[in-house]
Amino acid sequence: MNTDKNNIENMPDLSVEIGGVRLQNPVMTASGTFGSGMEYSDFVDLSKLGAVVTKGVSAVPWEGNPTPRVAETPSGMLNAIGLQNPGVEVFCERDLAFLSNYRTKAAADAVGDGPRVIVNVCGHTVEEYLEVVERLSDEPVDLLEINVSCPNVKAGAIQFGQNADSLMDVTQRIKRIAKQPVIMKLTPNVTDIAEMARAAEAGGADAVSLINTLLGMKIDVERRTFVLANRTGGLSGPAIRPVAVRMVYQAAQAVKIPVIGMGGIGSAEDALEFILAGATAVAVGCMTFHEPATAVSVIDGMKDYMIRHGIERISDLTGAVR
């Protein structure tokens, strides 16, 4: 660590590397909470982000679950969207076209490397995942994030992520055909997160990201019914942060590949907790609903922290608390 604050005042190095891809800083959007950035681009300077992680994309359009499918909870929310999306063809024409133009503009304006594009992939069967991965192989996509952890989809999806052998198998099969580096997104709804992280690594994953939402339920006492039409939903937000930090710590202790941490991040301090616990990068999820530019203020706050503490490289902080 460099303690000469004057040296780094202008230039703390926030860049990190995941699967051989350099990100200008370690802050990304969490899948499903930022669309593909289009809806947010009037309010948030996307060029400042480390990466935009898209909402889950499947081989064919998915309708999602019936409403109501979101509910407020103490310090968080439940969702049971069910991975509604227009399918990979529309996604490539519309969302990827938008994101790649954006990256070109960022480079031309010399505002840094611009955000990396990470596409979140979902499916009911291994074949459906493979179809999307193959379709994306020649598209302007920097990394793939494979969602084997959605609690709101009945068939497939989470089942792969809750069994170490299946997780290793699906990782291997995806890695065999993927042209981009692969991040496996892990579910917290397991007994031993370290075992799942090891299984993804053994299958050849370039990184793991965690946590997806925790399975929850809310009941309307007056109406004596479930609040969500799906009955159960995924819990996210500050309420899950201590669980997420603990799991990121355990996963980072178990594997050598980079860990991307998320769960209730709303400030630089929150993000730094994950980094100190072992995360190489972090994602801001549903706190974006509260304040659209949360991810950008996390980046600014991180820079301030590094200057204040005389830290030259953000990567020096990864796993610094043991």
Ligand X SMILES: Cc1cc2nc3c(=O)[nH]c(=O)nc-3n(C[C@H](O)[C@H](O)[C@H](O)COP(=O)(O)O)c2cc1C
**Distance of alpha carbon 264 from alpha carbon 271, whole angstroms:** 9
Cα–Cα distance, 178 to 200 (Å, whole number): 15
- Closest approach, Cβ 201 to ligand X, in A, equals 19
Structure tokens at 176: 């065999």
Q: In the numeric block, which tokens belong to residue 156?
A: 């497939």
Question: Which CB, 162 or 236, lies closer to ligand X?
Answer: 236
Report which residue type is found at 209.
Answer: S
Which residue, 164 or 265, is less far from ligand X as judged by CB? 265
| Closest chain position to ligand X (CB) | 32
Closer residue to ligand X, CB minimum distance, 106 or 149: 149
Residues engaged in binding ligand X (CB under 6 A): 30-33, 55-56, 79, 81, 83, 120, 147, 150, 185, 212-213, 236-237, 240, 262-265, 285-287
Between CA 26 and CA 281 the distance in angstroms is 4
Q: Which of 92, 122, 150, 286 is catalytic?
A: 150
Amino acid identity, residue 95? D
Least separation in angstroms between residue 148's CB and ligand X is: 9
Handedness of CA 261, 183, 126, 82 (dihedral sign): positive
Which residues are CB-contacts of 184 (< 8 A; sequence separation ≥ 6)? 145, 146, 148, 167, 171, 200, 203, 205, 207, 208, 209
Sorted by sequence, the CB contacts under 8 Å of residue 1 that are 6+ apart come out as 310, 311, 312, 316
Q: Which residues pair with 62 in a beta bridge?
A: 85
CB of 86 to ligand X, least distance (A): 13
List % helix, strand, coil for the chain (3-state, nearest 5).
Answer: 35, 20, 45
For ligand X, the closer CB: 97 or 239: 239
Choose between 85 and 318: whose C-beta lies nearer to ligand X. 85
Sign of CA dihedral 163, 166, 172, 173: negative
- What's the closest the beta carbon of residue 270 comes to ligand X, in angstroms? 9
Bridge pairing between strands 116-121 and 21-23:
unpaired
> In whole angstroms, what is the distance from residue 12 CA to residue 139 CA?
32
Tokens of 59: 């081989």
* Closer to ligand X by Cβ: residue 12 or 32: 32
Cα–Cα distance measured from residue 124 to residue 72, given in angstroms and rounded to the nearest whole number: 28
- Is 150 an annotated catalytic residue? yes
- Which residue numbers are catalytic? 150
